[in-house]
Each structure stands twice: as C-alpha cells, then as structure tokens.
Amino acid sequence: MVGSSIGGICALGLGTRKWSLEECRMKFLKFSEQIFAPKSCFGRLLSRITGGWFAILSNVAKLIFFDSIYDSAPIETILQESFGEASLMIQSDLEHPTKVAVVVNQASTSGPTVFANYNKSRHSKNGAYMWPAMDNLYRSLKIWEVARATSAAPGFWDTITLLGSAYQDGGLSHNNPSAIAISEANVLASSRNADSLIVS
C-alpha cells in the first residue's frame, strides 16, 4: 500500500494500525478541524481578516513572517495521538503483514523519497525515487514522524527533519503515487508469482 500526503496518512493507518475505512474517514474529519491553527497571536489576528484581497494579503503576510500559514504543533500532536510511539519498521511479517510505503520530498532537492515499513536493503537505487539508508536511525523512525513528513505541505506547515534532512509533502511530486506502488510491488513480488491490484 503506497500513499502520499493525506493518502500517506491513510495508508499508514490502514496498513500499520489496522484502521477501518470508517476510522480513516473520522480521523480525516478530526484532523481537518484541529490542524489549521494560525502560528501566533499576530497570525490569529491576520486569519480574522476575511474576504477578497485582505484574505490574500493576510496569507502572504503569514508566509513572509512565519514561513508557513499554520502552526505545526497541532498536526504533530494529532498524529502522535493517532499513531502513538510505534516504530515504522516492522519486526516481522507477522507483526504488520501489510507492507506500507509513503512518499515524501526532500526539501533541498524536491526529489521523492520512499519511507516504508519493510526492509528494502535488497533493492537497487531506482532513478525515479530514493530510499533512505536502512540503518539504526531509520529503524528508530516513528510512524507519526513519517506521517508528518508526507503531509508537510509547503506554505501550510513547516518541513520536518528526519535522518538529518528536511522533508515535505509527498504530493508535491507524486500526488498519485501509483507508479511507485507498481515499482515497489514488482520488487517485492520478484521472488514469487503474485497478482497485484491498483486502487486509486
């Protein structure tokens, strides 16, 4: 299962936390109510300006003064509450039989990187996207951190630093990550004859 942005959050929830589709829907509604909080008193004042050019100018002012319109703390809190402190990496196929990958973008290069809950050490580098090194630092990543990275839309929320690099929303390069899903499925199924299904 592969996703980016809110699709990445849903993929992580469905695949690693066993959320039902209804739970995904309810969490999405809860997220949208809570994560759009202005960054400061000044930001809250600017957000009260509504309509026409005033609203546009207030958002531009927030970007100039704060690098992003919304405070990252609420989205981080709700992701921590939703995913807990569970590690992204699975210990065995029995723990999380569903393999999940999310797309993030490295802020410095805008290049897509794939974070997954399975071991990709046998993969060769694919020119279309990158994988982080499968070291102890990678193995210590929390699911909520990866969810935060894949949904860090520039201008809306700050980037998040993982493994020494700043990451942002995977939807910037792969809003529909079907090509990555096909590539990953081919690598994972190379040793066995398996059917795949794409649902987008």
- Active site members: 5, 169
Measure the CA angle with vertex 100, ends 96 and 102; round to 5°. Answer: 145
Rounded CA separation 3/114 (Å): 10
Q: Which residue has the tokens 């569970």?
A: 86
Q: 129 near 120, Cβ under 8 Å?
A: no
CA atoms within 13 A on the CB side of 106: 14
Q: What is the largest CA-CA distance in the chain?
A: 59
Q: 187 near 12, Cβ under 8 Å?
A: no
Rounded CA separation 62/58 (Å): 6
